[in-house]
C-alpha cells in the first residue's frame, strides 16, 4: 500500500469531515485548471436575456467512498498528477453525473488535451445542464477541435440566444478548410445570423471573414474598420492586417502595425508582424530594435527564440541568428532547422567541414536535401567545388540510408545551375559503386538528355527497365523523350500506356499520353487526356500542350484563354513563351503592353 493510500485509510473520517464543505459546496465555484475553450462565457455589452429555466436539479449527496475519491483526485492535482486525477474523475462522473464533477472532468481533460474525453463529458455536462453557458461553450470548443463545424455553429447560436457570446470567427476560420459545398452552407448560416444580430461584434467579424474568403475584400474591410476599437478589437486588427498583407498594401500595413505597436507595446505578435514587414521591405535598421525587443522579452520561450533567429537571419544579422540557433540546438528544439542554418553560417565562413558536420545531424530528408543542394550551389559559385568534391562524396557514403536522396539532390542541383558535365562525372562515379541503382541510371539518362545524347539516354533508361520493368517514372520519361526527340510515336505510346496502367491518375503521365496522341494525329483523344491532366495539376507545361491542341482544332479563343491564364501564373515559363510566340505572338505583345500600363 502506497503512502498516500495509508494516509487516507488512517485518517479517512477526519479527511472526509474537513473535505465535506469544499467538495459539496465550493466545488461548484472551483477554478478551472486551464482555460482552453474557444468560446467566451459572458458578454460585457449584451445583457443576458430572460430564458425559461428548467426545473431546479438536486444532486444526490456523495457517498463516503465517492467523497474520498473526489478528495484523492484533488490531491493528485495538487501533486501535478493530472492523468491519475482525470481517471478518478471520469469514474466519479460516470457514477454520479454530478455537475461539479462533470465540470472538473472537462477542465482536466482540456488541460491534458485529451480531446476524446473532453468531448464525451462536455456533451454529458451539456445534456445534464442544458442552460449552462459554460457547459455549452466547452462542448462547442470540443466540437470545433473534432471539426464538427455544423454542430458547433448550432451551440454557438444557442449561446447568443442565452445572452452570452461565442467566437464565430473561430468557426469561420476552421470552416475555410471544408469542401466548398459545406463551407458555403456554413457561411450562409453565419451571414443570416449576423444580419439578425447586427449589434454582435464577433458575428460581424465572422461575416467579414466570410466575405473576404469569397474575395469581397472591400466589403470585408468596410465591416472590419468600425470593429478595430471594440470588444473584438485585437481579433479585428489581426484580421485587417492579414487582408492588407493579402492585398500587398505594404505601406498601409506598416502604418497600421506601427500604430498598433504604440497602442499595444507588450503585444509580441503584433510587434513580430511589424518586424517581419520591415525585414521583407529591407528596412533593416527600423526592424532591428523590434527584433531586439522580442528577443529580450521572450528569452525563455523556444518558439519565440526560433522566430527571432529567423528574423535576424533574414535581416542579415547572421551572427546573432547563429547564437539563437545554437541555443535551440542545446535545448533540442527544432534541431533540423537549427542545424540547417548553422551549416549555412559556416558555409558563409567557407568552413565546409563544419557545415557538413551540422548537416550530418539533419533527420528529415527534405531538409537534408535542401542543405546539400545549397552547399553545392554555394561552392560552384565560389569556384571551389572541385577541391571540396571528396568531402561531399565522403558525406554521401556515410549516409547509406539517405544515399538515393543525396544522389538525386546533388545531380539535380548541378543540372539546375547548368553544370551538366560535372553532373555526368559525379553520377558516373556513383554508378561505378552502385551499377544496379535505378535512380542513378535515371539521373544519368536525364543528364544525357540535357546534353542531347538521346541514344545514351535511351540506353540507360532501358537498362533501368530491365532491372525493374514496371517503373512508371522511367516508362513515362522514356516514352515522352522519344515523343519529343524522335518520331517513334507508336513505340512511345506503348511505353506511356504501360506507365498509365500503373498510375492512371498521374498528371505527368496523362500529359505524356495526350502529347503522343497529338503527334499521332488523334486530336480529340489528345485533348481528353490533357484536360484530365490539367484538372489534376494546373501546370504551365500541360497548359502549353493543351493550348496547342486546341489551336490545331481551330478553337483559337479557348487556346488563347488557356495560355493567358497559365502565363499569369507562370510568366517566366520558356515552354509557354515558345508555343505562344509560334501560334499567337500578339498575346505576348498584349500582355507586355498591359504590364507597362499597369506599372505606369
Residue 205 · residue 227 · CB < 8 Å = yes
How many helices (H) and strands (E) in the chain? 34, 0
Q: What is the pLDDT of residue 592?
A: 53
Question: How confident is the model at residue 160, as a pLDDT?
Answer: 85
The count of other CB atoms within 10 Å of the CB of residue 400 is 9
Q: Is the dihedral of CA 550, 551, 557, 562 positive or negative?
A: positive
Q: Residue 508 has what pLDDT?
A: 95
Separation between Cα atoms, residue 425 and residue 410, nearest integer Å: 12
Q: How confident is the model over 63-107, as pLDDT tens digits?
A: 888 888 989 999 988 888 999 999 999 999 999 999 999 999 999
Is residue 459 a contact partner of residue 446, using CB atoms and an 8 Å limit? Answer: no
- Predicted confidence at residue 55, as pLDDT, reads 55
3-class DSSP state of 453: coil
Tell me how far apart the terminal alpha carbons of the chain are, to the nearest angstrom.
Answer: 84
Low-confidence ranges of the chain (pLDDT < 70): 1-59, 590-600
CA atoms of 153 and 562, how far apart (whole Å): 40
CB 65 within 8 A of CB 91: no
pLDDT the model gives residue 36: 31
Cell of 273: 508582424
Measured CA to CA, the distance from residue 305 to residue 325 in angstroms comes to 8
pLDDT at residue number 311: 94
pLDDT of 413-429, one tens digit each?
A: 888 888 888 889 988 98
Contact criterion met (CB below 8 Å) for 121 and 102? yes
- C-alpha cell read off for 412: 539535380
Question: Whole-prediction pTM value?
Answer: 0.65
The C-alpha cell that represents 149 in the structure block: 463545424
Sign of CA dihedral 341, 342, 343, 344: positive
pLDDT at 111: 93
- Cβ-count burial 5-18 (b if 16+ within 10 Å, e if not): eeebeeeeeebbee
Rounded Cα distance between 204 and 394, Å, is: 61
Label residue 165 exposed, middle or buried (CB < 10 Å: 0-12, 13-18, 19+): buried
163 backbone dihedrals φ, ψ, rounded to 5°: 90, 10
Reference 543, options 516, 514, 585; nearest CA is: 514
Burial 334-372 (b: 16+ CB within 10 A, else e): bbbbbbbbbbbbbbeeeebeebbebbeebeeeebbbbbb
CA atoms within 13 A on the CB side of 327: 16
CA atoms within 13 A on the CB side of 411: 25
Amino acid at each position: 500500500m502506497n503512502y498516500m493510500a495509508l494516509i487516507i485509510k488512517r485518517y479517512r473520517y477526519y479527511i472526509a469531515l474537513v473535505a465535506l464543505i469544499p467538495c459539496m459546496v465550493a466545488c461548484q465555484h472551483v477554478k478551472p485548471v486551464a482555460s482552453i475553450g474557444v468560446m467566451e462565457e459572458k458578454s460585457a455589452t449584451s445583457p443576458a436575456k430572460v430564458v425559461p429555466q428548467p426545473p431546479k436539479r438536486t444532486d444526490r449527496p456523495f457517498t463516503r467512498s465517492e467523497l474520498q475519491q473526489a478528495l484523492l483526485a484533488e490531491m493528485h492535482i495538487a501533486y501535478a498528477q493530472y492523468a491519475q486525477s482525470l481517471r478518478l474523475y471520469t469514474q466519479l462522473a460516470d457514477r454520479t453525473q454530478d455537475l461539479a464533477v462533470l465540470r472538473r472532468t472537462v477542465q482536466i481533460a482540456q488541460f491534458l488535451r485529451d480531446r476524446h474525453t473532453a468531448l464525451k463529458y462536455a456533451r454529458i455536462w451539456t445534456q445534464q445542464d442544458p442552460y449552462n453557458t459554460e457547459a455549452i461553450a466547452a462542448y462547442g470548443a470540443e466540437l470545433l477541435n473534432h471539426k464538427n463545424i455544423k454542430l458547433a455553429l448550432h451551440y454557438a447560436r444557442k449561446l447568443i440566444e442565452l445572452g452570452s457570446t461565442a467566437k464565430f470567427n473561430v468557426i469561420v476560420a476552421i470552416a475555410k478548410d471544408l469542401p466548398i459545398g459545406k463551407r458555403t452552407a456554413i457561411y450562409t448560416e453565419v451571414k443570416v445570423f449576423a444580419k439578425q444580430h447586427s449589434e454582435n461584434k464577433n458575428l460581424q467579424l465572422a461575416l467579414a471573414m466570410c466575405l473576404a474568403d469569397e474575395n469581397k475584400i472591400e466589403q470585408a474591410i468596410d465591416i472590419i474598420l468600425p470593429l478595430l476599437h471594440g470588444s473584438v478589437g485585437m481579433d479585428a486588427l489581426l484580421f485587417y492586417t492579414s487582408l492588407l498583407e493579402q492585398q500587398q498594401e505594404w505601406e498601409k500595413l506598416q502604418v497600421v502595425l506601427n500604430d498598433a505597436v504604440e497602442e499595444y507595446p507588450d503585444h509580441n505578435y503584433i510587434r513580430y508582424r511589424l518586424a517581419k514587414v520591415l525585414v521583407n521591405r529591407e528596412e533593416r535598421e527600423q526592424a532591428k530594435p523590434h527584433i531586439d525587443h522580442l528577443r529580450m522579452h521572450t528569452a525563455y520561450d523556444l518558439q519565440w527564440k526560433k522566430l527571432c533567429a529567423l528574423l535576424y537571419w533574414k535581416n542579415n544579422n547572421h551572427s546573432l541568428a547563429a547564437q539563437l540557433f545554437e541555443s535551440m540546438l542545446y535545448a533540442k528544439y527544432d534541431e533540423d532547422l537549427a542545424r540547417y542554418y548553422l551549416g549555412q553560417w559556416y558555409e558563409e565562413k567557407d568552413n565546409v567541414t563544419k557545415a557538413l558536420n551540422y548537416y550530418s545531424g539533419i533527420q528529415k530528408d527534405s531538409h537534408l536535401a535542401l542543405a546539400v543542394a545549397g552547399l553545392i550551389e554555394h561552392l560552384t559559385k565560389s569556384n571551389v567545388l572541385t577541391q571540396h568534391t571528396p568531402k561531399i562524396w565522403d558525406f554521401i557514403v556515410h549516409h547509406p540510408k539517405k544515399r538515393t536522396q543525396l544522389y538525386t539532390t546533388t545531380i539535380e542541383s548541378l543540372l539546375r545551375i547548368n553544370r551538366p558535365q560535372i553532373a555526368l562525372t559525379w553520377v558516373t562515379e556513383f554508378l561505378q559503386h552502385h551499377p544496379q541503382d535505378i535512380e542513378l541510371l535515371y539521373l544519368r539518362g536525364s543528364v544525357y538528355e540535357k546534353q542531347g545524347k538521346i541514344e545514351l539516354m535511351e540506353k540507360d533508361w532501358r537498362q533501368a527497365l530491365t532491372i525493374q520493368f514496371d517503373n512508371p517514372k522511367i516508362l513515362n520519361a522514356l516514352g515522352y523523350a522519344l515523343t519529343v526527340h524522335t518520331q517513334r510515336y507508336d513505340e512511345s505510346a506503348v511505353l506511356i500506356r504501360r506507365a498509365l496502367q500503373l498510375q492512371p491518375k498521374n498528371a505527368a503521365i496523362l500529359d505524356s499520353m495526350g502529347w503522343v496522341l497529338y503527334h499521332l494525329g488523334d486530336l480529340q483523344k489528345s485533348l481528353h487526356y490533357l484536360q484530365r491532366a490539367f484538372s489534376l495539376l494546373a501546370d504551365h507545361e500541360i497548359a502549353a500542350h493543351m493550348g496547342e491542341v486546341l489551336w490545331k482544332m481551330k478553337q483559337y479563343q479557348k487556346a488563347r484563354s488557356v495560355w493567358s491564364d497559365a502565363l499569369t501564373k507562370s510568366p517566366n515559363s520558356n515552354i509557354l513563351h515558345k508555343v505562344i510566340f509560334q501560334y499567337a505572338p500578339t498575346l505576348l505583345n498584349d500582355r507586355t503592353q498591359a504590364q507597362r500600363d499597369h506599372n505606369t
